[in-house]
A and B are shown apart, each in its own frame.
Chain A
Amino acid sequence: MEIDRSAVRDVARALLSDLDTYTAQRVFPVGEHGYRLHTENDPIIYESPPNFNKFHPAVDMVNVSIDELPSGTLSQFQDFIQLSVGQFYMSYSSYIARLAQSIEEYDLAEEASALGDLEQNGI
Chain B
Amino acid sequence: MTIIAWHKSDIRPDDALLEMVYKQGFLWENRGNEYHERLRYMQDEEAGRYGRLLMSFADSLVDTVSTITAKGHDLADAWGGDAGKEALRELGVLRKAVIDLASAVGTVGEGVRWFGEDVLPVYKGKNEPIFGPNYLFDSSPIWDHQFGGNNCDCSVVYFNPLSWTGVDSATCIRQEHEYYYEYSDIWISHPRDAVPVVSREDFYSSVFGTFINETERQAIEDRRLDPYTAHRLADARRKMDRVNSYIAQLHAFMPAEVTCDFPDDT
> Are A and B physically bound partners?
yes
Taking Cβ atoms with an 8 Å cutoff, the residues of A that contact B are: 1-4, 7-8, 10-11, 14-15, 18, 21-22, 25, 38, 43-45, 47, 49-61, 72-74, 76-77, 80-81, 83-85, 87-88, 90-95, 98-99, 102, 116
Which of the four size classes fits the interface of chain B? Answer: 35 or more
Whether, in the assembled complex, B12 has its beta carbon less than 8 Å from a beta carbon of chain A, the answer is yes
Judge whether A18 and B101 touch: CB under 8 Å. Answer: no
Judge whether A53 and B41 touch: CB under 8 Å. Answer: yes
Interface centre among A21, A25, A54, A58 (most CB of B within 10 A): A58
**Which residues 38-91 in B have Cβ within 8 Å of A in the complex?**
38-39, 41-44, 46-47, 49-50, 53-54, 56-57, 60, 63-64, 67-68, 71, 74-75, 77-81, 83-84, 87, 90-91
For B87, give the chain A residue with the smallest CB separation. Answer: A99
Of the listed stretches B131-139, B218-226, B256-264, chain A binds B256-264
**Shortest Cβ distance from residue A51 to the other chain B in the assembled complex, whole angstroms:** 5
7 contacts between A and B (CB under 8 A): A2-B80, A4-B78, A51-B43, A59-B244, A87-B4, A91-B94, A94-B263
**In the complex with contacts A18-B63, A57-B16, A80-B6, A92-B94 CB distance below 8 A:** yes
**In the complex with contacts A59-B12, A73-B8, A3-B79 CB distance below 8 A:** yes
**In the complex with contacts A59-B247, A77-B108, A18-B90 CB distance below 8 A:** no
**Which residues 240-266 in B have Cβ within 8 Å of A in the complex?**
240-241, 244, 247-248, 250-251, 254, 258, 260, 262-266
